[in-house]
């Protein structure tokens, strides 16, 4: 198979803070190292990038994503479709919604580094997704709050407000029980140091449950206060999907929100994820597992 050679790749910023569209890349074909490096550099700068009109099947999506790191299994809790171990189906007809701000899977020790979501079915209206830059959000914190955040540790759990609201409509089918039947909890730094860029970012989102050393009310207040800096409109980009779009985001430097404004219409995407390292805080302390074992997910083991 002929390797795609990068000759005409363009990166078009969508805002001054986060998001860019990349043209001139066909993710269904093998890419040369220069093309991969260009996409990775755009991810480092813009945190989420979009490629229109990508004709991907499972094998080509997996092959493309694998250029950015070892792949995880599809999900640490749910089984992947038969014969497609790295795939996570995001299907509204199966009740899958993510209409809360979150960083993917922060209740485990090693949240994914990168996510690759390919759109298959898009509602005629609605169904956009927003991404926020958690690096620039950290940079906007007042000095005193930034110094406090640098020292905080936050417990993330799969049994949280995000889970309650997002999966409650699936309880009749037993999926809610499946999601929380095995508890997963990890203590993460509130501020992580990006392993590639060295940038500091806020590690929060919908799975954040409590702040270590603080009571329930103080924990909620601290998380809410920090989270508000992430979700300010100027920190975000909104993407209007078309069938065939491929979104790639740095899960180590973003949060996202899939807007549920399409009623009973069908929305479906297919996601694969590249494994991430254990987050490390400003003080050099890594995250620590409190409950649950997701080592098989992170290593892609069957």
Rg of the chain over Cα atoms, rounded to whole angstroms, equals 18
pTM greater than the 0.85 cutoff = yes
pLDDT number for residue 172: 44
Enumerate residues 6+ apart whose C-beta is below 8 A from 59. Answer: none
Read off the tokens for 216: 């329930």
pLDDT number for residue 163: 57
Distance in angstroms (rounded) separating the CA atoms of residues 82 and 79: 8
What digits encode the pLDDT tens for the residues 35-51?
999 999 999 999 999 99
Catalytically active residues, by annotation: 102, 104, 256, 271
Architecture, CATH, for domain 10-295: 4-Layer Sandwich (3.60)
- Asked whether the CA dihedral 136, 142, 146, 149 is positive or negative, the reply is negative
pLDDT number for residue 171: 47
By mean pLDDT, which of 21-25, 119-123, 126-130, 158-162 is the weakest? 158-162
Domain map of the chain by residue range? 10-295
pLDDT number for residue 15: 98
By mean pLDDT, which of 72-81, 141-150, 280-289 is the weakest? 72-81
148: pLDDT strictly greater than 50: yes
Please, what is the average pLDDT of the chain?
92
Pairing, β 20-23 against β 129-133: unpaired
1: pLDDT strictly greater than 60: no
pLDDT number for residue 93: 85
- Give the SS3 label for residue 125: coil
Q: Could you tell me the pLDDT band of residue 178, with boundaries at 50, 70 and 90?
A: low
5: pLDDT strictly greater than 60: no
pLDDT number for residue 47: 98
Q: Could you tell me the pLDDT band of residue 176, with boundaries at 50, 70 and 90?
A: very low
What digits encode the pLDDT tens for the residues 102-140?
999 999 999 999 999 999 999 999 999 999 999 999 999
Matching residue, tokens 């803070």: 17
Q: Degrees (nearest 5) of the Cα angle 254, 258, 260? A: 160
């Amino acid at each position: 198979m002929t390797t795609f050679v990068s000759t005409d790749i363009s990166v078009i910023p969508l805002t001054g803070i986060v998001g860019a569209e990349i043209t001139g890349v066909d993710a269904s074909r093998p890419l040369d190292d220069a093309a991969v490096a260009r996409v990775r550099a755009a991810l480092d700068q813009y945190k989420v990038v979009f490629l229109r009109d990508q004709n991907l099947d499972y094998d080509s999506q997996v092959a493309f994503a694998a250029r950015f790191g070892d792949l995880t299994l599809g999900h640490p809790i749910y089984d992947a479709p038969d014969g497609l171990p790295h795939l996570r189906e995001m299907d509204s007809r199966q009740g899958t919604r993510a209409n809360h701000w979150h960083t993917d899977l922060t209740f485990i020790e090693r949240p994914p580094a990168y996510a690759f979501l390919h759109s298959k079915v898009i509602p005629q209206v609605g169904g956009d997704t927003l991404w926020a830059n958690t690096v620039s959000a950290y940079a906007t914190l007042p000095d005193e709050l930034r110094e406090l955040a640098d020292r905080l540790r936050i417990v993330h759990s799969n049994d949280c407000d995000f889970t309650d609201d997002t999966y409650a409509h699936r309880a009749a089918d037993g999926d809610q029980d499946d999601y929380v039947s095995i508890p997963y909890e990890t203590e993460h730094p509130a501020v992580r140091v990006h392993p590639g860029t060295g940038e500091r970012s806020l590690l929060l989102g919908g799975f954040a449950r409590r702040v270590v050393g603080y009571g329930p009310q103080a924990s909620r207040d601290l998380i809410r206060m920090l989270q508000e800096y992430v979700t300010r409109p100027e920190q975000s980009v909104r993407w209007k999907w078309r069938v065939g779009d491929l979104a790639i985001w740095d899960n180590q430097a973003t949060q996202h929100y899939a807007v549920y404004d399409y009623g009973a219409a069908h929305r479906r995407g297919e996601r694969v994820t590249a494994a991430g390292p254990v987050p490390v805080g400003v003080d050099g302390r890594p995250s620590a597992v409190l409950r649950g074992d997701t080592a098989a997910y992170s290593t892609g083991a069957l």
